[in-house]
Amino acid sequence: IMENDPHSILEGMAICAHAIGSKKGYIYCRGEYPQVVKILKQAISQAKDKGVLADFDIEVRSGAGAYVCGEETALIESIEGKRGEPRFKPPYPPAQGLWGKPTIVNNVETFANIPVILEKGSEWFASIGHPSYPGTKVFTFTGDINNKTFIEVLTNTTVRELVYKFGGGIPGGKKFKAVQIGGTSGAFIGEDKLDNPVAFDAMAAIGATLGSGAVFVLDETRDIVDVVARIAGFFEHESCGKCAPCREGTARIAQLIKKINDGRGSHSDISLIEKVGRVMSYSCLCGLGQAAPTPVLTTISQFKTDYNAKFI
């Protein structure tokens, strides 16, 4: 959205600012995307020249690549020039956020929807997509899938349609094994859940989330334990270390999954992973730690044969 339709974001932010009486807005962009920053700055300049922003000022801030800065309070800390780590809540950002002032933090996709809803009306928006979660959602296809691209679909679209209709299916005539939706912390979904719609409530019912909209597909040849081992190592590295459940939990899960993947594990390791994961899900300070066990726990519950094949 930032690369291809940046003005929809700026317009949405300007409308939001008018509604709450704000004079300043920030777009936080990961440091790995300098081209996106360039596009955004150019779009802001164009919007100012056309008077779209009125007296509302928007500034682009680049992060240093920390995954945890996707959490709203860690993002705020980063914008303020501090180490990117989450704050204790309450107070929540709407009461005390950036520079200690009331702050609204939204994904760019949310802001991009605002102009369209105002133009066509809330009744129109409520009439498209899934009844419980109307509208559209942007997805990005990666992994073992023919069409590695991004697409905007209605929220009543099924996961199967994402993979086969819009994603073009699995390359080389191979069979589908699993799909992870929502980014690195998303749940893995097996064949039996492909007919689930990509609406928020419907995904939550099967233990999954929409998250960033990333769709990571695995074919039948993939070692899912090896994939999860790499994900666990990623979360161990990206944990900011502020809270003990995340700091110790991500390290312990990464250690145990590596042990299993190396062929040195046992069923007791699986039990310990599940216990650690459950503790993390309700005791970690922010969403990173709470969601970090999800890829591991969902593959354990749905792909036990893959884990059993690793045991001595």
Q: Is 176 helix (H, G, I), strand (E, B) or coil?
A: strand
- 28 lies in some domain: yes
Are 162 and 215 spatial neighbours (Cβ–Cβ below 8 Å)? Answer: yes
Count of structural domains, the chain: 3
Residues 210 and 176 both lie in one domain: yes
- Of the three residues 84, 102, 120, the one that is the final residue of a domain is 120
Tokens 């928007």 locate to: 58
Residues 100 and 154 both lie in one domain: no
pLDDT tens figures, 286-302: 999 999 999 999 999 99
Pick the more confident residue, 212 or 44.
Answer: 44
Residues 73 and 109 both lie in one domain: yes
Buried-exposed string 48-87: b where 16+ CB fall within 10 A, e elsewhere? eeeeebeebebebebbeebbbbbbbbbbbbbbeeeebbbb
Classify burial at 15, counting beta carbons within 10 Å of its beta carbon; exposed 0-12, middle 13-18, buried 19 or more.
middle
Residue 285 belongs to a domain with what CATH number? Answer: 1.20.1440.230
Which DSSP string do the residues of 179-199 spell out, in sequence order?
A: EEESSTTPEEE-GGGTTSB--
Query: Residue 312's pLDDT band (boundaries 50, 70, 90)?
Result: low
**For range 166-195, the mean pLDDT:** 96
Residues 209 and 236 both lie in one domain: no
- Of the three residues 66, 85, 120, the one that is the final residue of a domain is 120
Q: Is 214 helix (H, G, I), strand (E, B) or coil?
A: strand
- 242 lies in some domain: yes
Nearest one of 64, 104, 101 to 84, comparing CA atoms? 64
pLDDT tens figures, 237-265: 999 999 999 999 999 999 999 999 999 99
Residue 205 belongs to a domain with what CATH number? Answer: 3.10.20.600
- 1 lies in some domain: no
Residues 139 and 212 both lie in one domain: yes
Indicate yes or no: pTM above 0.75.
yes
- 255 lies in some domain: yes
**Distance between CA atoms of residues 26 and 11, nearest Å:** 13
- Of the three residues 219, 239, 263, the one that is the final residue of a domain is 219
Show the domain range for 145.
Answer: 129-219
Residues 92 and 192 both lie in one domain: no
Residues 16 and 114 both lie in one domain: yes
Query: Residue 74's pLDDT band (boundaries 50, 70, 90)?
Result: very high
